[in-house]
Chains A and B, each alone.
Chain A
Amino acid sequence: MLVRPKPGILDPQGKAVQNSLRHLGFTVEGARVGRLVDLEVETSDPEQARAEVERMCAELLANPLIESYEIELVEDS
């Protein structure tokens, strides 16, 4: 799952990354820094797994007031 600072919220980390890249001579119009959480879940029902991860995001992994998130399911045999 990917957690991002919500649009419109000042992201000082992203700002620092953008400034550093500019110092190196890159042209960057904006940078936002989020968080990637890899979760391993054993299931035979991907939709149920997605619902479960949804709950994890809502209850712990993201703060809905300041962060948005998206979930991507990847199968690993």
Chain B
Amino acid sequence: MSDARRPRVAVLVFPGSNDDRDAALALEGLGADPLLVWHAERKLPEVGAVVLPGGFSYGDYLRAGAIARFSPALRAVADFAAEGGLVLGICNGFQVLCEAGLLPGALRPNESLSFVCRDVALRVERTDTPFLTRCETGQRLTIPVKHGEGCFFADADLLAELDAAEQIVLRYDRDNPNGSVDDIAGIVNAEGNVMGLMPHPEHAVDPLLGSTDGALILSGLVEAARERLLAATV
């Protein structure tokens, strides 16, 4: 039983994850009780939310995220998501969620074929998801990206579907670093409880590093995790 004031949030760790500790540190600073969960775990502890961090899970052989979806922990995450649990995938975590079918679409090599690592401007398209309650619609966020395969792709039919269901929650604001279709930077599933994004909010939580806009996203997640755990204890 975790303390509801400091909601427990699981951060999955795959072989090759490299932003797991940054994510945990950022979540802790924002009031959560982060718990690193190794990929071989078959069950998740009682948590208010799950974060899939950035990195190169299982070396990202074949396609980014393609192997991680078979890990025991990810099956547990899929069950958690199916019950309405909050799941946030960052960068490689987003790739894993797409490959696992928890989010629609696919992430392909950047149009430039170059790894990009820099701050980008984002536009918030929706705030009525648990992850973006701290933001305002149309708000401009500065959050870094660092990826080689962040080019979100959806064919015309899927794109129309995402648009109609308002599943596109973050777009690059006139500064698309990877050639993603329709400038998409982040999406949610149809139910709204699973979100993936290429930029790294966990790297934008300290003024020393230039921007604290990432804290808006992660603190929304922490708040939602807290509410969820509180509701479960009542």
B99 at the interface (CB under 8 A from A): yes
Cβ–Cβ contact B66 & A63, under 8 A: yes
Q: State how many residues of chain A have any CB contact under 8 Å with chain B.
A: 10
Given contacts A63-B99, A65-B106, A66-B153, contact A12 B66 (CB under 8 A): no
**Among residues 1 to 47 in chain A, which have CB atoms less than 8 Å away from a CB atom of chain B?**
9-10, 12-13, 16
Residues of B in contact with A, size category: 10 to 19
- What's the Cα separation between A66 and B95 when bound, in Å? 14
B3 at the interface (CB under 8 A from A): no
A60 at the interface (CB under 8 A from B): yes
B113 at the interface (CB under 8 A from A): yes
- What's the Cα separation between A25 and B155 when bound, in Å? 35
Say which residue of A12, A61, A65 sits within 8 Å of B112 (CB atoms).
Answer: A12
- What's the Cα separation between A13 and B148 when bound, in Å? 12
**Among residues 124 to 169 in chain B, which have CB atoms less than 8 Å away from a CB atom of chain A?**
153-155, 158
Cβ–Cβ < 8 Å partners of A16 in chain B: 113
Cβ–Cβ contact A66 & B106, under 8 A: yes
Cβ–Cβ contact B153 & A12, under 8 A: no
Cβ–Cβ contact B108 & A66, under 8 A: yes
Least Cβ–Cβ distance between B59 and chain A, in angstroms: 15
